[in-house]
Amino acid sequence: STSTDPIGDVEQEVKEWAREKKSEIEQLRSQEKFRREFLSNISHEFKTPLFAIQGYIEAIVEDEFYDTEMAMQFLKKAEKNVDRLSYLIKDLDEISKLESGEIPINYTRFKINDLIKEVFEQLELKAKQHEIKLIFKQKYDDAILVSADRDKICQVMINLIDNSFKYGKPGGSTSVSLFELHDQVLVEITDEGIGINEKHLPRLFERFFRIDSHRSREIGGSGLGLAIVKHIIEAHQQTINVRSTEGIGSTFGFTLQKVMQSPLKQVIPTLKS
Ligand code: ADP
């Protein structure tokens, strides 16, 4: 090079190197902070049900004049907390596998309409129990063919619809709508539930993020459902978003890759006739 200021050049290089190192260190620090927070979240999540189980069992063991009815009640409460622990472990296992890339995305072609109907059948009873009406707003006559991991998208839909029950209002509805975009399909799940304040939306998909942690734990979530959903959609190179109005309801929307129908298929029937 024809630089006239070699010292200035070196100085510049050193400054750049220092900047790079600084940003690397900052990145490591934030990863470390993230890891610490994650671990402390996990132990907190485990502690609550574990202490509850301990409490109920102790109460039964120490009951001098053994009261069968009370013991039964406590055992049922303990059982509920055991369930919570197993959900938590299942979800943690799932998210760590997704994050490490251990679970591959198995693309197949399927009709999204069929999957929605299948998910509705699976959730029919639960919807009734929550007194929520499940509606499929089918705008298109023909089923739309998509390319995705069917089981995983099934799980995404179940998680989102299940949340619409958990944070829904009895007597309300949850509807699923499809919108055809150019080479994608947008699937939207809209509820008439409690809604989400705008200030919480940016953190909603974070692991263990909850708006009302006491209420959510009572309802029985692991706090990992939306993080899992986001992972699955992003592993498909698709997007997920949410819009919501507190007190009115929320809409979660995600995209899927549409299988483009070859134009030949549209031509052939006319050729035959
Ligand atoms: P959880 O197991 O706590 O339900 P999620 O990851 O599924 O965990 O959701 C995170 C939080 O987002 C919930 O605790 C709840 O506060 C909020 N949330 C999720 N879905 C909805 C919804 N449909 N309406 C209102 N709030 C919701």
238 CB within 6 A, ligand 1: no
- What is the Cα–Cα distance from 265 to 89, expressed in whole angstroms? 48
pLDDT at site 100: 86
pLDDT of 38: 84
Side-chain half-sphere of 218: how many Cα atoms within 13 Å? 6
CB 196 within 8 A of CB 210: no
What stretches of the chain adopt beta strand conformation (E)? 108-111, 133-137, 145-148, 173-180, 184-191, 240-245, 249-258
Asked if pLDDT for residue 270 goes beyond 70, the answer is no
Is residue 192 within 6 Å of ligand 1 at its C-beta?
A: no
Lowest mean pLDDT segment, chosen from 156-165, 170-179, 219-228: 219-228
Q: Which residues contact 235 (CB under 8 A, 6 or more apart)?
A: 98, 105, 152
Give 229-242 pLDDT, tens digit per residue.
999 999 999 999 99
164 lines ligand 1 (CB under 6 A): yes
Contacts for 190-193: CB closer than 8 Å, 24+ residues apart: 190/249, 190/250, 190/251, 191/132, 191/163, 191/164, 191/167, 191/249, 191/250, 191/251, 192/168, 192/248, 192/249, 193/164, 193/167, 193/168, 193/169, 193/249, 193/250
β-bridge pairing 184-191 and 173-180: antiparallel
Three-state DSSP at 137 gives strand
**Predicted ipTM of the assembly:** 0.98
pLDDT in tens, 35-63: 888 888 888 889 989 999 999 999 999 98
- pLDDT above 90 as % of the chain: 71
Place of tokens 């007194």: 131
Cα 224 to Cα 92, 148, 166, 258: the distances in Å are: 8, 22, 14, 28
Of 59-68, 102-111, 188-197, 250-259, least confident by mean pLDDT is 59-68
> Is there an atom of ligand 1 within 6 Å of 168 CB?
no
Which two tokens mark 84? 């919570």
In percent, the amount of the chain with pLDDT more than 70 equals: 94
Query: Residue 234 corresponds to which tokens in the numbers above?
Result: 């992003």
Residue type, 135: I
| pLDDT over 80 at 2, yes or no | no
Mean confidence (pLDDT) of the chain: 90
pLDDT at 272: 47
Q: For residues 26 and 23, what is the distance between their CA atoms, to the nearest angstrom?
A: 5
The Cβ of residue 199 has, within 10 Å, a number of other Cβ atoms equal to 9
Reported confidence tier of residue 30, pLDDT bands at 50, 70, 90 = confident
Mean pLDDT of 155-172: 96
User: What's the CA gap between 218 and 214, in Å, rounded?
Assistant: 6
Closest-lying ligand 1 atom to the alpha carbon of residue 193: 24
Output the pLDDT for position 263.
62
Beta carbons of 237 and 157 less than 8 angstroms apart: no
Segment 178-209, tens digit of pLDDT = 999 999 999 999 999 999 999 999 999 998 89
pLDDT score, position 40: 87
Can you tell me the distance from the alpha carbon of 7 to that of 12, in angstroms, rounded to the nearest whole number? 9
The encoded tokens of residue 15 equal 């400054």
Residue 39 has what pLDDT? 86
Residue 199 CA to residue 147 CA, distance in Å, equals 34
User: What residue's CA is closest to ligand 1, atom 13?
Assistant: 210
pTM, rounded to two decimals = 0.82
Q: Is 249 in the pocket of ligand 1 (CB under 6 A)?
A: no
